[in-house]
Structure 1
Amino acid sequence: MKSLRAVPLLLLVAACSGGGGKSSGGEQAEDPVVVDYPIAFVRRQLNKDDEGVLEQDSVFQPQDFFPGAELVIKDRATASAKETVITADIFTGDYDVKDLNTSADGQRLIFAMRAPELENVDDDEQPTWNIWLYDLETEELKRVIEPDLIAEEGQDVAPAFLPDGRIIFSSSRQRRARALLLDDNKPQFSALTDNQDDPAFVLHVMEADGSDIRQISFNQSHDLYPTVLNNGRVLFNRWDNAAGVDRQSLYTIKPDGSDLAFHYGYHSQETGTDNSNAAFSRPREMPDGRLLVNLRSPSGISYGGDLVAIDGINYSEAYSEPGGEGELVGQASISFAEVTTNGTLSPHGTFAAAWPFYDGTSRMLVSWSECRIVEEETELLRPCPEELPEEGDLVLADPLYGLWIYDYVAGTQLPIVVAEEGEMISEGVTLEPRTEPAYIPDPIAGVDVDGDLVQESVGILDIRSVYDFDGEDIVGIDTLADPALTSAEERPARFLRVVKAVAIPDDDVLDFDGSAFGRNRRQGMREILGYTPIQPDGSVRVKIPADIPVAISVVDAEGKRIFEQHNNWLQLRPGEVRSCNGCHSSESEIVHGRTDMQLASAWSGAPTSAVPFANTEPALQAEMGETMAQLLARIVGEAGLSGDILFTDFWTDPAVRAKDANISLAYADLLTSSPTTLTCLDNWKSDCRSVIHYEQHIQPVWELSRQVVDDAGTVISDNTCTACHSPVDAAGVTRVPAAQLDLSASASPVNDAWLTSYAELLVDSPVLDLVEGVLTPRLRQETDNQGNPVFETDEDGNLILDANGDPIPVMVIVSTSAILAESALDSAFFPVFSNGGAHAGYLQPAELRLLAEWLDIGAQYYNDPFAAPAD
């Protein structure tokens, strides 16, 4: 291969018409002054179904396989340069190639490639996406992971080089998560995304020879397109889909998986044309420090969108005001003419991919298709007119993506590779040298991180105060922290509950009935990792199991969540200490977890050193700035989670007032089945879990005998739940269940996979009347929007009359609302059992705690798919 020029030359190009001229660029002369570096690109067939209709290209489907692609290299970025298909001799048949990336020295090309489909082979035995490497100097093309068995463990896509030569990529292999499944006595499998459609792709790192594969991100949905920023951090697309949130934004992480942080766009999902939903696809840092993304519809058939530059250094969201109000400050289109992203006709065409030049210019290598229509009269393909008529008057033609050099400042573009009808150039890269990003070494156990924490496979979550909301003290932390001014009973936040996502297998591993999720699948299934007390100042410092997706909730003294549910999966690596100032609402646009934009804490901690907090135990002497939780960790040792809700007053100085009463809501106090093991009841460790199933743990609460008998054995009272809340009395006589609530264990008419009690508690149910000894749904006549009675009519709208000539009323079933709401705190069920309530004392505190936490984590019917019945 000929030597590369040491100094890149600027490319001077004549202006093109953009969308209005010929897309082939055939009338433009080849520019003789061009950067003398090779380029690589993917040429593929347009993806069409059997009827010739374009297939959707979804950012949420990274495993999609579209055969008919090839990887091509040109030795110069000119239209006349020779093309070499470097993948031609690898496979026989139609294969697929995507996700091109290069090393900083420009000598290595890395990408994802998948072998052709095998005939008469099941889907789970088809070839997988693998990472491939091409060396320009040796012209060697090889698969990075050479052993077939290891290569086929999962789907591997979107590779990038780390500064130390390792490779970071996105994969469904979920190597660490699968290993942890064995610890839970489950088979190894790749868990499905939060919406239970496909295996989740998460970030992995491996050596350049494919060895030492390690999972570094632990999302329940996809983490895609990692790219290394100049500061050494890894930027990537994260799909947040916990509890149906469904947002795709930008995050960063260190190469070892620590310090996961939101970066940009979580609340900027509707920045497409006419405020349509748009994804920040394929991010890459530009030479000027901005982030280049392809802003496009998450799912569509145009395969492209707009070129957008994000100022991620100064902004974390698109607009200057929350809720998409104010000025668009965080991002801007850098296309030099109008591009639409909502599937309508786009005057300047659309971009499928872009790669910046690193030569000091504003040029990019782009995959671009002009706007084309099908002429109605002749059915010929034509460029879109300069003035677009109303949508619907023109028919959009198939895209024709070619490869172009695009200068977004000069407003010029030059064709490099012209596509033919029915094909597209889906992406391209330049093989030119660029500055190597900073190197962030992995932490060393015992040096950079606590070796004992690494050995225990835990990290530490350190929260300064849960009463800090977006940098604002919402309660008066000083007052709550002073036992002389506030008792424990008066503090709203008492415990932090930590839950983990449960891995859901696909049907090939386990085909279980979908009713196991309960009233809605948004919450998936969840296990409770445990609780830790929140200190008087709202601080928390606790060990949390590493390498699993976790969420946290702040709960009161009864175990009821008092703030909204956390809808982002957190993670800690072994030995990692994650610190945050406080809490925030789900719609807050104040940056959380991003240290360069974090607000000052609302809680300054101890005002001085060598003295205790005000009116606390004299022996607990603080250091300036410490929180109460940090002080305890320093003196007593790092706290771990507990399976029970336990509180002991460590703080109140007995010389000031009596210590607050202890709290103990323990599973051991249940007279029914415990949701954890006997071993964990005695000694809660980091691998312990609370796994709640409705039939096994909740239904027995309703059926537990609560009779009060005298010495002679006579029943004085019977507070058994099903004694009143059932359709028959003790003598077997049919009746209307008390309060229209049936807690019996019969099969529910709503879903025969559920018990009646489950549906009665969580789903609106018919009001029942006893009619001639039969329980019958109550009916009422339907009314229209004006409150007028509705009668039956024929297809012409005429009234249908009965035998007496009277109109026939339309009757509807009268329903009663579900007893349980989305959370325990919002449910009218629990106050009935409080002091002064009609059922005060009927249920024990440990039972109410069990019911509250089960409801707060989603009220699932099962929280282990392997315990659920087969489909």
Structure 2
Amino acid sequence: MALNFVHKLSNQINIKRNNFNRLTHIRSRSPLAFKTSAVFACYLLTACNTETAVREQQVDPVLVEYPVIMLQRSHENIDNNIAAPIFDISDPTRFNGGAELWFKQNAFADTLAENISHALFATDGAESAADESPHPIIDIRDLSLADDGQSFLVSIRAPEIEGVDEDEQPSWNIWRFDLATKSFSRIIADDTTAELADDLMASYLPDGRIIFASTRQKLSRAILLDEGKPQYTALDEFRDDPTFNIHIMDGDGSNIKQLTFNLSHDFYPLILQNGKVLYSRLDAMGGNHGINLYSMNPDGTDNQLVFGWHSHNEELNGQLTNLNYIGTKQLPDGQVYLLAQNNDETLTNRQPISINITDFIDNRQTIADSNITGSAIADIEFTSYQFNFSDQINPDGRLSSLFALPDESQRYLISWDLCRVIVEEQIRSCGQLTDEQLASPDIKLAPALYELWLLDNANNTQQLVATPESNTFFTEALVMQATSTPKTFIADRVAGNELDFELYQAQAGALHIRSVYDFDGQDVTITNATPNGINDIKDPTKVTAAQRPVRYLRIVRGVPMPPDEVRDIANTDFGRSSNQLMREIIGYTPVQPDGSVKVKVPANTPFAISMLDANGQRIGGRHQQWMSVRPGETLNCIGCHTASSTAPHGRYDAQPQSINSGATGGSAFANTKPSLIAEQGQTMAEVVETHLGLPELSSDLVYQDIWTDEALSELNPDERHEYQALTTLVPNGSSCFNQWNAYCRIQINYEEHIQPLWQTPRLVVDEQTQELIADNTCIACHNRVDGDALAMVPAGQLELLNSPSSDQAAHMTSYRELFFNDVELEEIEGVLVDRLVELLDENGDVVYQTDADGELILDEDGNPIPVMTTVPVNSILRTGGAAASSRFFEVMANPTHQGMLTSAELKLISEWLDIGAQYYNTPFYTQE
């Protein structure tokens, strides 16, 4: 075998020596080359004057002591570009068969490489790398080196099974390669457990545990049962693929725990040198907000946005690029970097960029109180090369992968396609041509050949490590060398110490907002009437409760979407818009006079918040990020931000100082009840917790004045907007709040809870004679027939019937009438027909019918015939929320409708509109 290879190699070298100008590279059966080939390659490049490609090649005195691992992958050359396997960020589990792992004892180009993955899943007769028998086609990705350099983790998927559905194909599993034994072992040994989900992107924690991305949703599935739902693996918010979340497990695959709870993908966890976990999150609440960087502790606490919300359309290589922050790594000097790629995911050339997440929250937005200028994103500086992802000719060649040696030597193991072009059907080095020649439209890139090189940035030298097999290239590589910068260990927080024990036991946490009036560090309550802002707003002698702009906080939970095999959800189930998917209300709590809130919230549950006015209607836009807390944890927020704001938010250390400095210790707030003594810096919400206990969420809007000192000013009246005041069916789950637990949810469905409002009898009867004065039942007027069953035009051109709609049978007529534009009706001889009027042009003149030649068509009296058209009727409700549906509430407040709906009914309609006006807010409504 070895002799045969030597003969093949010698023949190839002789061919090269006879074809200097073709500048082709040795391609062999395995990604190895002998020292003679390395020297010859260097000679060829030097002879071709390629000093813009390779400046100098010297043997590295250190790297040769450490094994090199190379991930080689099949490809096709199309138009002189490598058509790479597609790594779709929206489909992380995609199978790209044809990957192999190769092992070299050191980085000498003449060291024989050994295929260490061929034996995986091998059938009888193909049990070793040396076997000529066909080997199973598998997929491999995500190499991650242990700090001691003695092992690495890797994601592997077994061969596809012919003739079975995708959900029956093998799962991605995490494997460990041990250098001492040169063997692989699957981390989760049990086949059944391993195949329950896809596990990817693993890394070691300093204590030997493993953090990884997985579709296991281990705790999320259990919470579904506690919420009264069937257990299933939820899809992402685009309803395309099972959702990945970050999990952690012991080194032997046991004790698996879920750490993050996003409704779309959380993946690519990276353990930073400071011990924190940096990971990528697909923010998709209400639309695609891109993949951003988040961080947390290894136990899932302190989870927050770090970078990227407003930094997706950035200019790289002189063109706008859609950046998604995935696959981050850290250099030994602490820089965080990633390999940016062209929007064409089939191309392999990448641009290494560093991201300053220490001083920036967005590319041009620093954290608060920073004196740094410039931008966060920068090219990684190589001494002699400038790589990019452009599809144009780059004299420095193309880079596909980069591994920084963990020893602070500024050396990189790179998959590098040296710049070569086709000139008159000859392959030539770019260094042989002038810039003008390279710019010629007749010059084309030669077929890509990604070799593995060691680039020494400090000494400006390069060393060829390996050349791939034909029709393959290197997509990842690493050197099995111990790190010189070990990571800090962050211990898990302990209940009763760093975590509140009672909250931990209740599977709950706490949310503390210092002031909802703090918008990006600005006090939005400063007006002529309240020149001192929240200092006036929180003073009961200056501002009454009714005058405060924000009165309540609503917390909303997104409903995890089941896969089709569990429940195939029709688009009509979402109603007018699927933008918000389905939502449940976790509960309500009042906002304190200074705008502060502190309340108990369910742990391990993605939630969003809304600020409400006195009527329970959302103020401003919807929150766009899912937040969560771990059991016993308190999530601290300084304030709020507008949707378009680029100011630092979502990251605690990035925000300016709060406008709410809190109390002066040892006394009550000014002009408030003297018994409510505050500690230094406490918000009013924290004082409430100190004296009355941490509030629990309510299903109702309930306000009681606890702050006013009656000796100084009049007590504000109590307010109650309660579901129990409804005469119709109360929303599902509201009774749970009689004794709150972490799994209480409020669910509103149109057919169950909104339509009955239109049908509830609303009779006005004379108290003395019991004579019917008026029938204010909604469908009495908003109907096609009157009390005598005769045709009539619905009041306000609005039908509120529960019959199936003629436009969409899955919806009631009333729902379509409320949310979809329609046309006016009129009654003609006992029949309702569309009302027609003369069509007018832009000048207000009547438009007349014409024939094909443009001549007027005349009636029997010789008069032109006007074009008739229907009269549009705009919908009265909007899925954007109650505030966007102001016309409806204005009608309900006018003299003809005032008092017809109760405050509890209006509150129900408002909250349902605010969460998206879905037809159903459960995927299982029609199965119940």
TM-score (norm. length: structure 2): 0.84
CA deviation map 1:365-422 (0-9, x unaligned):
22344577889x9799997985699999988887544333345677665443333553
Deviation for aligned residue 1:702: 1.2
- Matching residue within 822, 825, 833 for 1:765: 822
SS at match of 2:152: strand
The residue correspondences of 1:506-655 to structure 2 (distance < 5 A) are 506-606=563-663, 608-655=664-711
Conserved 8 A contact 2:56-2:462: no
1:239 aligns with 2:319: no
The alpha-carbon distance between structure 1 residues 422 and 839, as it changes in their structure 2 partners (threshold 3 A), is farther
The alpha-carbon distance between structure 1 residues 210 and 55, as it changes in their structure 2 partners (threshold 3 A), is closer
Q: CA–CA distance in 1 between the matches of 2:387 and 2:54?
A: 23
Deviation for aligned residue 1:294: 1.2
Q: CA–CA distance in 2 between the matches of 1:408 and 1:838?
A: 79
The alpha-carbon distance between structure 1 residues 394 and 193, as it changes in their structure 2 partners (threshold 3 A), is farther
* Equivalence for 1:85: 115
1:416 aligns with 2:465: yes
CA deviation map 1:304-330 (0-9, x unaligned):
4310011111212112599xxx98510
1:307 aligns with 2:363: no
SS at match of 1:159: strand
The residue correspondences of 1:208-287 to structure 2 (distance < 5 A) are 208-273=251-316, 274-287=319-332
1:331 aligns with 2:360: no
* Equivalence for 1:425: 474
* Equivalence for 2:747: 691
Conserved 8 A contact 1:652-1:658: yes
Conserved 8 A contact 2:60-2:463: no
SS at match of 1:242: coil
Deviation for aligned residue 1:850: 0.7
Conserved 8 A contact 2:849-2:857: no
The alpha-carbon distance between structure 1 residues 742 and 345, as it changes in their structure 2 partners (threshold 3 A), is farther
Conserved 8 A contact 1:483-1:615: yes
Q: How many residues align?
A: 849
The residue correspondences of 1:373-522 to structure 2 (distance < 5 A) are 386=435, 400-407=449-456, 414-420=463-469, 422-434=471-483, 435-475=485-525, 476-522=533-579
Q: CA–CA distance in 1 between the matches of 2:343 and 2:214?
A: 20
* Equivalence for 1:366: 414
* Equivalence for 1:864: 922
SS at match of 1:760: helix
The residue correspondences of 1:752-791 to structure 2 (distance < 5 A) are 752-771=809-828, 773-778=830-835
SS at match of 1:521: coil
SS at match of 1:578: strand
* Equivalence for 2:23: none
SS at match of 2:103: strand
SS at match of 1:668: helix
Q: CA–CA distance in 1 between the matches of 2:43 and 2:638?
A: 52
The alpha-carbon distance between structure 1 residues 412 and 192, as it changes in their structure 2 partners (threshold 3 A), is farther
Q: CA–CA distance in 2 between the matches of 1:211 and 1:492?
A: 51
The one-letter amino acid paired with 2:117 is: T
* Equivalence for 2:73: 44
Q: CA–CA distance in 1 between the matches of 2:912 and 2:213?
A: 34
Q: CA–CA distance in 2 between the matches of 1:99 and 1:463?
A: 39
The alpha-carbon distance between structure 1 residues 371 and 497, as it changes in their structure 2 partners (threshold 3 A), is farther
The one-letter amino acid paired with 1:582 is: G
TM-score (norm. length: structure 1): 0.90
Q: Which runs of 5+ in 2 are unaligned?
A: 1-38, 123-135, 526-532
* Equivalence for 1:6: none
- Matching residue within 327, 346, 357 for 2:405: 357
- Matching residue within 39, 57, 63 for 2:87: 57
SS at match of 1:150: helix
The alpha-carbon distance between structure 1 residues 25 and 397, as it changes in their structure 2 partners (threshold 3 A), is closer
Conserved 8 A contact 2:321-2:343: no
- Matching residue within 705, 713, 720 for 2:761: 705
* Equivalence for 1:669: 725
The one-letter amino acid paired with 2:380 is: I
The one-letter amino acid paired with 1:432 is: Q
- Matching residue within 703, 715, 738 for 1:682: 738
The alpha-carbon distance between structure 1 residues 681 and 452, as it changes in their structure 2 partners (threshold 3 A), is closer
Q: Which runs of 5+ in 1 are unaligned?
A: 1-11
The alpha-carbon distance between structure 1 residues 84 and 592, as it changes in their structure 2 partners (threshold 3 A), is same
Conserved 8 A contact 2:784-2:793: yes
Deviation for aligned residue 1:758: 1.4
The alpha-carbon distance between structure 1 residues 48 and 390, as it changes in their structure 2 partners (threshold 3 A), is closer
CA deviation map 1:485-522 (0-9, x unaligned):
01000001111111111111111111121211122222
CA deviation map 1:802-857 (0-9, x unaligned):
69799998876543322123121232244335655541111111111111111111
Q: CA–CA distance in 2 between the matches of 1:396 and 1:776?
A: 68
SS at match of 1:186: coil
- Matching residue within 107, 122, 132 for 2:165: 122
Moved more, 825-834 or 486-495: 825-834
Q: CA–CA distance in 1 between the matches of 2:392 and 2:842?
A: 37
Moved more, 657-666 or 782-791: 782-791
The one-letter amino acid paired with 1:684 is: W
- Please tell me the root mean square deviation across aligned C-alpha atoms, in Å: 3.6
The alpha-carbon distance between structure 1 residues 428 and 847, as it changes in their structure 2 partners (threshold 3 A), is same
CA deviation map 1:157-190 (0-9, x unaligned):
0000001100000001110001111112322222
Conserved 8 A contact 1:194-1:522: no
The alpha-carbon distance between structure 1 residues 179 and 292, as it changes in their structure 2 partners (threshold 3 A), is same
Deviation for aligned residue 1:664: 0.8
Deviation for aligned residue 1:83: 1.4
Conserved 8 A contact 1:24-1:418: no
Moved more, 194-203 or 21-30: 21-30
1:161 aligns with 2:230: no
Q: CA–CA distance in 2 between the matches of 1:595 and 1:98?
A: 34
The alpha-carbon distance between structure 1 residues 813 and 623, as it changes in their structure 2 partners (threshold 3 A), is same
Q: CA–CA distance in 2 between the matches of 1:82 and 1:24?
A: 29
SS at match of 2:536: helix
The one-letter amino acid paired with 1:628 is: M
Moved more, 763-772 or 381-390: 381-390
1:816 aligns with 2:859: no
Q: CA–CA distance in 1 between the matches of 2:377 and 2:666?
A: 49
The alpha-carbon distance between structure 1 residues 347 and 574, as it changes in their structure 2 partners (threshold 3 A), is farther
Deviation for aligned residue 1:537: 0.4
CA deviation map 1:174-208 (0-9, x unaligned):
10001111112322222111111111111000000
The alpha-carbon distance between structure 1 residues 405 and 810, as it changes in their structure 2 partners (threshold 3 A), is farther
CA deviation map 1:45-90 (0-9, x unaligned):
12799xx976643222211111111112222233323212221111
Deviation for aligned residue 1:629: 0.5
Q: CA–CA distance in 2 between the matches of 1:216 and 1:27?
A: 47
The one-letter amino acid paired with 1:541 is: K
* Equivalence for 1:825: 883
Q: CA–CA distance in 2 between the matches of 1:313 and 1:549?
A: 26
Conserved 8 A contact 1:157-1:170: yes
